[in-house]
Structure 1
């Protein structure tokens, strides 16, 4: 088990809480006397350790919130790009949706295919199918189009 500073703080906080709790139960006279004599110092150490824990929680919440906002923004950008596509480009994406496939053989010299690849809606897989290249649709776009197939028409 690898001990990090974060884990060490959690263990120390639990130990300190148990230490003070056992001292208040008067199980051992020496421990109770020690807790009474140094209670203020132990309380300050406990609060310091607790503040590190609260700080970690706040950072975790901020990071999750940032990820959610980034996903929402990416989703809006995807929808905006989708609405700007031409009829031919939407027809190519419809091939993926109608056949319910992730990969499709397309002509790499087609201008619509090149544009979809340029805006990263489809990606070349490196596979060849006769004179055509095999392209894979971007996963988040495929998910969106499967849920909203009318956005292509």
Structure 2
């Protein structure tokens, strides 16, 4: 995998504004946005009785190592009012590291590549849009292959929103 990819999602309040504000806060922290996917509206995964999400993937460049980047992402979430109540619950903003180049990290608070990539259409569809032939550093499959094999049937639809 070539690049650092992060996923932003929001399903409460002004979802689009939360995504936009998160992007601006990340830029203020010195993170460069290299590319961005289309914004998708997606059914909630894991806990389905909540509002739909807006999701976007950003390809970024950052001088920080993965743990420092995680701290920046958590700080950004907190500054936008994120409160962690329950796993997969509703949230104003959620930011996850999907890939950090070909790095493999297996810590209690950070797993890279993100362990949910293969099983979630809301990550695979935008990744396929951005980097279809890039290979997952653990399973050796590209994004197109993983999407073709993904068994997640939750809706993931294009929007015309822009960051």
- Relative to total residues, which structure has the larger helix share, 1 or 2? 1
Could you state the TM-score of these two structures normalised by the residue count of structure 1? 0.23
Return the structure number with greater relative CO, CA threshold 8 A, min gap 6. 2
When Rg is computed on C-alpha atoms for both structures, the one with the higher figure is 1
